[in-house]
Structure formats: structure tokens, C-alpha cells
Amino acid sequence: MNKTVLLTGGGRGLGRATADRLAARGHRVLLTARTRAAAEDAAAAIRRQNPGARLEPRWVDLSSLDEVRSFAAAEAARGEPIDVLFHIAGILQTSKKRRLTVDGYEETLAVNVLAPFLLTALLMPALERSASARVVTVSSRLHLPGSRGAPVDFDFADPQLEHGYHPDRAYKNSKLAVLWFTYELQRRLAGRAITANAVCPGFVPSTAAASTRGLERLFMAYVLPHMSFATSVDAATDSLVFMAVDPALDGVGGKFFGECHEIESSPQSHDAAQARRFWSMAERLTGLA
């Protein structure tokens, strides 16, 4: 059965590749990018390869909670069901300088977690119109203890990393928070025909290169893709398409996936008390409380 998939991050990288693959399979894709130009350019490029693609460009800057609210209100006003809400958009900072959004929040946390949290809440009526809906959010194995770089360290007394900021820590903290959000959302969806899952698409150097510059960008784009630990765009896209529409996941929620199968997340991610605490914090920060 063809589905309506609202997908963020569709302007480039894995989001665009996933939109392309889903449209080629006949699904209706609401392709969301940061700007109107990026969304329309991506949709046009996909249609050139697949003239019959059912693509509708959308645009929203996820670093602005006001823009998220306006976007969600416009979608809700359409009165149409959304079968899959897929949060693919995200950022991985490389600068050692802490960056803030227009709302005054640390940018990685805001874009990777707070925006999906708010968008999911505001689009819940559209998800409830679907006979069987899915909320899928991109996380990462990098939230696991012992992963490369600065370790995960989510301090509820300093969630914005005003002290001891490091881009690796900001990213890992956001991906841990994605899992808290996912697992707590699934608990709160009990009795409804909506599931919530998270996915790690793997490390895709060719798309991660977009966040880097100079020699580092060249290294990411042309050297790392040949390493054994790297994931190709095709393999990562296979995993994301699986999460969106594969019938094997009908009714399956509260799980973490990678390479089209369930994988284990960290013990901390399964701490229900911390998940509830993060949920309350996210409600306050997004104005949903």
C-alpha cells in the first residue's frame, strides 16, 4: 500500500536519497528542506529521473521553533493523514565554538531533538488520521559509551552545554536524547495505531563531508568511503526506506534499528526516569508544557 511520507532533510544527502527511493516506489513524499529553493530543486531533480514521482516540496528551518509551529499549522490545516513522519534532518557541528539558534538554544540539541519533538506533537492529529502511522527519528551508535571522540555526557543541569562544550559531545548527547524521546513517545502512544522507532543509518562519509571544509572535506568525501567501517549511501538508504515502509515493522515500536534489523542502544537510553525528565524539559523548552 502506498503511503504519505513527510520527510525532513530532503534537500540533500540521505534525506534526498530516501525521498528519491520512496517516490520511485510510488509513495507520496512530502519532501521538506530548510529553504523553498532547496526543496524545489531536490523535487525537480528527482522528477527528472522519475517523471511520475508524487513529490510535494515543503520548507521549514528546523533551527527556529516558530517556523516549526507555522509549518505544522499549515500541514494540519490540510486535514490529510500522514502515514510516516520521518525525522532525517540533523546537524553535526565541527566548530569548537558553541552556536545558538534564534531561540537561544544550543543548535545541535535544537535541530536534532527539539524540532522533531515539537513537530511530532503538532502533527499528531495528522498521524492519527492514518490507519497505521510511524514516527521514525535518526539516532546514531555514536551515543554508545566508548565511541570515538568526546564521550556522551548529558547533564540535565547544563543541557545547552554552556560549560565544557565540544561538538562531539553535543552530537552524541542529541542522539541519546533522540532515543529518550523515541522510547518515551512509544510508551505514551499505547493504545494508538502509531509507532515510534529510531534508526542509525551508519557512518556515511560522503554525506557527512557536507559539514566539513578544506582538507577534512576531501578526506571525508574521497578517502573514508573506502574504509571498512564506512556505509555507502545506497546501504544507508536501504535502511531508511525499510524503516519507513517495510511491512515487517507494522505494529513494531520502541526499538532501535540499524542495517534493517533491531540493534541495542545504551543502558542509559533505556532509563525511563531520565526519558521522562528529558520529555518534561523538551516540553518546557518548546513551549508545549
pLDDT of the residue at 289: 82
pTM listed for this prediction: 0.92
Report residue 206's pLDDT band, with 50, 70 and 90 as the boundaries. low
Question: Measured in whole angstroms, how far is the alpha carbon of residue 210 from the centre of its chain?
Answer: 17
Locate the domains of the chain by residue range. 4-204+236-286
pLDDT of the residue at 139: 98
Average pLDDT, the chain: 92
In this prediction, what percent of the chain has a pLDDT beyond 90? 86
Q: Are 118 and 286 in contact (CB under 8 A)?
A: yes
pLDDT of the residue at 222: 45
Residue 219 pLDDT > 50, yes or no? no
Report residue 114's pLDDT band, with 50, 70 and 90 as the boundaries. very high
Fold of 4-204+236-286: Rossmann fold (3.40.50)
Question: Measured in whole angstroms, how far is the alpha carbon of residue 198 from the centre of its chain?
Answer: 8
For residue 166, give the nearest of 99, 114, 215 by alpha carbon.
99
Q: Are 202 and 259 in contact (CB under 8 A)?
A: yes
For residue 240, give the nearest of 15, 46, 31, 12 by alpha carbon.
15
Is 165 annotated in the active site?
A: no
Report residue 30's pLDDT band, with 50, 70 and 90 as the boundaries. very high
Query: Which of 105, 171, 183, 222 does the annotation list as catalytic?
Result: 171
Report residue 212's pLDDT band, with 50, 70 and 90 as the boundaries. low
